Amino acid sequence: MEKLAINGGNKIRNKPFPPRAPFGKEEIKNVIMALNSQNLMEHNGTLGKRFEREFAAYYGVKHAIMVSSGTAALHTAVAALDLEPGREIITAPVTDLGTVIGIIYQGCIPVFADWRPGTINMDPVEIEKKINAKTGAVLVVHLAGQPCDMDAIKDICRRHRLPLIEDCAQAYLAEYGGKMVGTSGQIGCFSMQQSKHLTAGEGGIVITNSDALAKRMSLFRDKGWERWRRGPSRKYTGLGVNYRVTELTGALALAQLKKVRGVVNSRRKLADYLTSLIKDIPGIVIPETPAKARSSYWLYPLFITGCDMWKFAKAMTAEGVPVWAGYTGKPIYLCSEVFTKKRTFGKSGYPFTSSYYGKTIEYCPGLCPVAENALNQLVMVSILENWERKDMEDIAAAIRKVAGALCGKG
């Protein structure tokens, strides 16, 4: 058996993987156009509005509204539902804090539904178990570009008359049943942060087919200000925030929209090739996805079942193939003091202690046992659109070498 690099053997790969280079001449051209306009405020500009129209058309929806981040997109979506404080929103246990920040700022309570075994997404059965008289909405997360089981989740929301928000920050052009995720619920939310398929460095987008929700979201991101009113008729319709973007964001996003299909298609081809190379390796399990689902591969997930995941990850890195071990390490309710210490607004513990809620909720180990256990086996592999088949061959060779040496040995 070939000696592992971590034990002094030869590395599988001796050169770094190519860095991502998402920006080019089209982005530069658009940014210069924005600067030459002498106006960078999106409200008075043209590029941001044009991007919103084109993004809505791309997704086949009536409305797309840009905001300042993916976190802002999710907050804007939750705010648009106009739920009473103390209502519960069911969401995913493994995600960024950005998914739940808006829930808490709106005075609502995050409730976490466990993963379906063998997957990295919410189990519809667990979602339905969490529904009670306090439930106000469901917020699904299409983690790493892997779509949730939307048929089952939509059916649950329909039967219980609950609005559905989709967190698509990592899932541009991911599909379920031939339909892009983000279009199945009432609102789809996207991030344009640097690492995303479509990037402007920062930024976010919300999409919807509802005129009423679109109006609320448009107002919420701009302090609730009805800008068409002037003078003594000036009016703010409610408690909003400033989540506006500049024309620079619109300029970059407009150019990126032309590229995102190529980005996703390239990642899919490379991921399919990697799958073909590693599918027979003992101790390596590719997470299940619904039969109707098609991932966009923000990351490529693997379960390491035949050996210690941390040892596996260290050995992979030594072979010249860095991997992301354990992803978030813990579910969000165990790695954020927002939940472990109820550290929110001063010492109040609001909204968890609010009389509007009227219940006690604790976030502790064992809350979502499937997800908690799975994180101890989960390794995320990067696949960038500018990589080549040879890069996948090196990744596969490293996985085969390390698994062969470690799996079955603990």
Q: What percent of the chain has pLDDT over 90?
A: 94
Residue 299 lies in a domain: no
Q: Give the pair of three-digit tokens for residue 77.
A: 């979506």
CA dist., res. 128 & res. 114, Å (int): 11
Q: What is the mean pLDDT of residues 235-245?
A: 94
Domain-embedded: residue 99: yes
Judge whether 202 lies within some domain.
Answer: yes
184 in any annotated domain? yes
Question: How much is the average pLDDT of 143-167?
Answer: 98
Mean predicted confidence (pLDDT) in 199-227: 96
Taking residues 361-389, report their average pLDDT.
Answer: 97
In a domain, 244, yes or no: yes
CATH number at residue 110: 3.40.640.10
Asked whether residue 410 carries a pLDDT value surpassing 80, the answer given is no
Confirm if 154 and 147 have CB atoms less than 8 A apart. no
The mean pLDDT of 383-401, rounded to a whole number, is 98
Grade residue 409 by pLDDT with cuts at 50, 70 and 90.
low
Tokens of 242: 């400033």
The CA–CA distances, whole Å, from 194 to 112, 198, 213, 264, 300 equal 27, 8, 28, 15, 18
350, 103 Cβ separation under 8 angstroms = no
pLDDT tens-place string over residues 123-147: 999 999 999 999 999 999 999 999 9
Preceding peptide of 351 cis, ω within 30°: yes
In a domain, 65, yes or no: yes
pLDDT for residue 252 is more than 80: yes
Residue 310, domain member (yes or no): no
**Total structural domains in the chain?**
1
- Distance, first Cα to last Cα, the chain: 17
Give a yes or no: residue 354 inside a domain.
no
The C-alpha atoms of residue 340 and residue 330 are separated, in whole angstroms, by 12
Q: Select from 288, 272, 305, 273 the least CA-distant residue to 146.
A: 288
- Say what the pLDDT of residue 233 is: 87
Contact 178, 291 (CB under 8 A): no
Give backbone dihedrals phi and psi of 394, rounded to 5 degrees, phi first.
-70, -40
pTM: 0.96
Strand 164-167 with 88-91, pairing: unpaired
Could you list the residue range(s) of the whole structural domain that residue 37 is in?
25-259
Whether residue 173 contacts residue 145, with contact meaning beta carbons closer than 8 Å, is answered with no
The mean of the pLDDT values for the chain is 96
Residues 316-353 have pLDDT tens digits of: 999 999 999 999 999 999 999 999 999 999 999 999 99
Give the pLDDT score at 408: 66
